[in-house]
Amino acid sequence: MGSQEQVLWLFDNTDSTLWQLLILTLPKPKHANILVIGGGPGGSYAATVLAREGFDVVLLEAAKFPRYHIGESMIPSVRFYFRLIDLDEAVSQHGFLVKPGAAFKLRPTLPEGYSSFTALGMNNTSWNFKRSEIDEMMLRYAEKSGVKVFEQFENNDPAKRPISAQWKCTPDGSEGITSFDYLVDASGRHGIMSTKYLKNRKFNASLNNVACWGYWKGTERYMPGTERDSAPWFEALQDETGWGWFIPLHDGTTSVGIVEDTAASLKKKQDAKNANNGAARSQKDHYLLQMKLCPGLMDLVGDAELVDDGKNSSVRSASDYSYTSTNYAGDHYRLVGDAGAFIDPLFSSGYHLALTDALSAAVTIASSIRGDVPEKDCIAFHDAKFSLAYTKFLIAVLSCYSQIRQQNAAVLSDINESDFQRAFDIINPVIQGRSETPKDQNLTPDEVEKAMEFCLPLIGLGPAPPVSRLRSVSCGLADPGADQWTAATRLSCQDGTG
């Protein structure tokens, strides 16, 4: 085949069986009505919605799917987004492990708090999953919906305004430029727009963490035989430097990870090196030692075996530094998911936030193209929607970190309370994603206000502003030197935009 052709093998992964073997010779993309950079959940979802609305959509993905990615649990709000594109049934039937809720052990002297998904009905569950499988399912569904998908196309840089993107096709080394009318940046933590063009990424020093994790076979389950059976377990490290996760998966393995403050992790490793005559502790040894700071997690691991990944290592690690951007939309472009902001994996919010942003990006682009809403108003809506969803989760995460870092203090509970259940009952509308999905008959605006009023004083912010202004709190949190409400006042959106 010539350099201007690419072979696409189309599969229907909604049931993990071959749908159709079809060889298409497509010219490498020169122009797209809408260009989506990134084939992760946010990019695939936005592309699918737009293609189903009849738009010409090209998606460039740097990797070849399936590809490994950490992040193996989601919250029940994602089912609303899946239903919207007729994908919920396929995901439900794939075989992922059903997630009925999640348990959080934040003080060694108190029982865990539990966020029950099934309290609102047995259809309000979500899943623990392997990202390689669900991400490919979504990308192939986008392809089946009419999106022109080009894998192994590395995007180099969007031209100014932006109006085009340079790319390189890694299999044959060819390069080219694709012009477009609208851009969806779903490039993940690379954040092509925010880091290369806008240069507006701001890091949150309160969540400068590092994660290490591995996969185990033969673990126990959390509360087997009950309605909580196989729920993930999250537990604070007893030295107050972070927390651990325990997430069972449908392939019989369990993902077990540690999230630590970066400075604390480096100090532990240096102290160990000094105590061992200059010999550095291995990543695996460090990981296993940190796990011992989570007794409940260790009980669940039991006599399980750590699985080797086949690449001379059984333990992976990655930076886990939280960040935001000062804006998430502009003239003919939208940012989605990690391309715009990343919080922390504590409440498994990544998929929810990516799909929330993706739907907003798709709706505002469609509205702008059709002339239903002026582009400037579409920009304002997406910026507000992204910011509000992100900030509510950020506040909830930081409030729990306040407890993790002060385990001898009653932060999330009153002094006379014997557990954290009241706290989790209050913040459930946020950490289950219910405040972002429409027509939740069980949710009132007062419940969201109550959740924020509960959390904000715990992180040193108060009194709480209206929820409609919370979208801007993240700017102040990312800049510890800023007055707590100056950014909120300057960047606040009008009531009701969330």
> For residue range 289-322, what is the model confidence (pLDDT) as tens digits?
999 999 999 999 999 999 987 665 799 999 888 9
Give the model's pLDDT for residue 188. Answer: 94
Closest CA to 139 of 129, 152, 149: 149
What single DSSP character describes residue 281? Answer: P
Residues whose CB is less than 8 angstroms from the CB of residue 64 and which lie 6 or more positions away in sequence, other chains included? 151, 152
Q: Is 442 exposed, middle or buried (0-12, 13-18, 19+ CB in 10 A)?
A: exposed
What pLDDT band is residue 120 in, cutting at 50, 70 and 90? confident
Q: Distance (Å, rounded) from C-alpha 115 to C-alpha 228?
A: 10
Q: Distance (Å, rounded) from C-alpha 268 to C-alpha 13?
A: 44
Using the predicted structure, report yes or no on whether residue 481 has a pLDDT greater than 50: no
3-state SS of 76-111 is CCHHHHHHHCCCHHHHHHCCCEEECEEEEECCCCCC
How many residues belong to the chain?
Answer: 498
Single-letter amino acid code for the residue at 301: V
Among 47-61, 107-121, 404-418, 460-474, the range scoring the smallest mean pLDDT is: 460-474
Give the model's pLDDT for residue 482. Answer: 37
CB-based burial, 286-297: b 16+ in 10 Å, e otherwise: bbbebbebbebb
Residue 337 CB neighbour total at 10 angstroms: 30
Closest CA to 80 of 497, 438, 447: 438
Higher pLDDT, 92 or 437: 92
What are the distances in angstroms from CA 313 to CA 284, 289, 318?
A: 8, 17, 14
Using the predicted structure, report yes or no on whether residue 378 has a pLDDT greater than 70: yes
Residue 150 CB neighbour total at 10 angstroms: 19
Strand partners, 255: 215, 247
What three-state secondary structure class fits 222? coil
Q: Region 77-88: what's the mean pLDDT?
A: 96
Give the model's pLDDT for residue 456. Answer: 87
The pair of structure tokens assigned to 326 is: 């000062």
Give the model's pLDDT for residue 178. Answer: 76
| H/E stretch holding 476 | helix 473-478
Residue 241 CB neighbour total at 10 angstroms: 22
The pair of structure tokens assigned to 119 is: 């309290």
* Dihedral angle over CA of 390, 393, 396, 399, nearest 10: -50
Give the model's pLDDT for residue 168. Answer: 65
Single-letter amino acid code for the residue at 199: K
Average pLDDT, the chain: 84
Q: Region 383-409: what's the mean pLDDT?
A: 93
Contact criterion met (CB below 8 Å) for 254 and 246: yes
* Dihedral angle over CA of 63, 80, 331, 141, nearest 10: 40
Q: What are phi and psi of 468, to 5 degrees?
A: -65, -15
What are the distances in angstroms from CA 297 to CA 175, 222, 247, 465, 470?
A: 49, 10, 10, 37, 34
The residue behind tokens 């126990």 is: 220
Residue 280 CB neighbour total at 10 angstroms: 12
The pair of structure tokens assigned to 342 is: 């990343």
Higher pLDDT, 217 or 5: 217
Read off the pLDDT of residues 167-193 as tens digits, 9 standing for 90 and up.
667 666 677 777 889 999 999 999 999
The residue behind tokens 């509960």 is: 454
What pLDDT band is residue 437 in, cutting at 50, 70 and 90? confident
Whole-prediction pTM value? Answer: 0.86
Residues whose CB is less than 8 angstroms from the CB of residue 30 and which lie 6 or more positions away in sequence, other chains included? 176, 177, 178, 179
pLDDT-above-70 percentage for the chain: 81
* Domains of the chain by start residue, with CATH: 5-69+132-200+326-367 (3.50.50.60), 99-118+204-320 (3.30.9.100), 402-491 (no CATH)
Contact criterion met (CB below 8 Å) for 256 and 301: yes
The pair of structure tokens assigned to 457 is: 């004083």
The beta strand positions in 152-303, using DSSP E, are 153-158, 164-169, 175-185, 201-217, 233-236, 242-248, 253-261
DSSP per-residue codes, 418-439: SSSHHHHHHHHHHHTTGGGSTT
Read off the pLDDT of residues 83-114 as tens digits, 9 standing for 90 and up.
999 999 999 999 999 999 999 999 999 999 99
